[in-house]
């Protein structure tokens, strides 16, 4: 699998996680959707989400170096972490 395929697979895993936390979510999650503003990622599940990103990337994430904008969209998450 090439780098693009790895990122796409990672984004698919992220969308599956978002759907598991939002069972009433219908339709696609467009790559530019603001996941924070739409509350698809909520603060109570944020540490679990960081764990998912660490698992997908295979690297630890230094939470001290994070900005909320790193998590706004699927595009930004893929760019920053996958």
pTM: 0.84
Q: What is the block-wise mean pLDDT of the chain (82 residues), using blocks of 10 residues?
A: 70 95 93 94 91 95 91 94 91
Domain boundaries in the chain? Answer: 3-22+30-81
Query: Left if phi > 0, otherwise alpha if psi is -120 to 50, otherwise beta: which for 59?
Result: beta
Torsion of CA 17, 1, 67, 22, to 10 degrees: -10
Task: Mention every residue, 6+ apart, whose C-beta is less than 8 A from residue 32.
Answer: 73, 74, 75
The whole-number pLDDT of residue 6 equals 65
State both tokens at 41.
Answer: 């990622």
3-22+30-81 in CATH: which number? Answer: 1.10.1200.10
């Amino acid at each position: 699998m090439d780098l693009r395929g790895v990122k796409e697979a990672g984004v698919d895993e992220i969308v599956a996680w978002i759907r598991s936390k939002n069972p009433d979510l219908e339709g696609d999650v467009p790559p530019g959707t603001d996941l924070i503003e739409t509350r698809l990622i909520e603060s109570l599940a944020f540490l679990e989400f960081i764990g998912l990103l660490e698992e997908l990337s295979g690297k630890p994430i230094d939470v001290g170096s994070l900005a909320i904008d790193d998590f706004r969209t699927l595009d930004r998450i893929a760019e920053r972490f996958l």
